Chains A and B, each alone.
Chain A
Amino acid sequence: DGGITQSPKYLFRKEGQNVTLSCEQNLNHDAMYWYRQDPGQGLRLIYYSQIVNDFQKGDIAEGYSVSREKKESFPLTVTSAQKNPTAFYLCASSIDRGLGAFFGQGTRLTVV
Chain B
Amino acid sequence: DAKTTQPPSMDCAEGRAANLPCNHSTISGNEYVYWYRQIHSQGPQYIIHGLKNNETNEMASLIITEDRKSSTLILPHATLRDTAVYYCIVRVQYNFNKFYFGSGTKLNVKP
Contact = CB atoms under 8 A, between A and B. Distances in A.
Nearest to B100: A45
Interface in A42-89: 42-45, 48, 50, 58, 88
A87 to B, nearest CB: 12
B49 A43 contact: no
A1 to B, nearest CB: 15
Interface residues of B, number: 24
Interface in B34-54: 34, 36, 41-46, 49
B87 A42 contact: yes
A104 B43 contact: yes
A42 B46 contact: no
A103 B111 CA distance: 29
A80 to B, nearest CB: 26
Interface stretch (B14-22, B64-72, B76-84, B91-99): B91-99
B49 A106 contact: no
Q: Main SS of chain A's interface residues?
A: strand
A43 B94 contact: no
Nearest to A96: B94
A43 B32 CA distance: 19
A78 B41 CA distance: 20
A103 B43 contact: yes
A96 B95 CA distance: 7
B51 to A, nearest CB: 10
Given A31-B96, A42-B104, A96-B93, A90 B43 contact: yes
Contacts of A90: 43-44
19 contacts: A30-B96, A33-B98, A43-B44, A43-B87, A45-B98, A48-B96, A90-B43, A94-B99, A96-B95, A96-B96, A98-B32, A99-B46, A99-B49, A100-B91, A100-B99, A103-B43, A104-B43, A105-B42, A106-B43
* Nearest 5 interchain pairs by C-beta: A103-B43, A43-B101, A50-B96, A42-B103, A42-B101
Interface of B: 32, 34, 36, 41-46, 49, 87, 89, 91, 93-96, 98-104
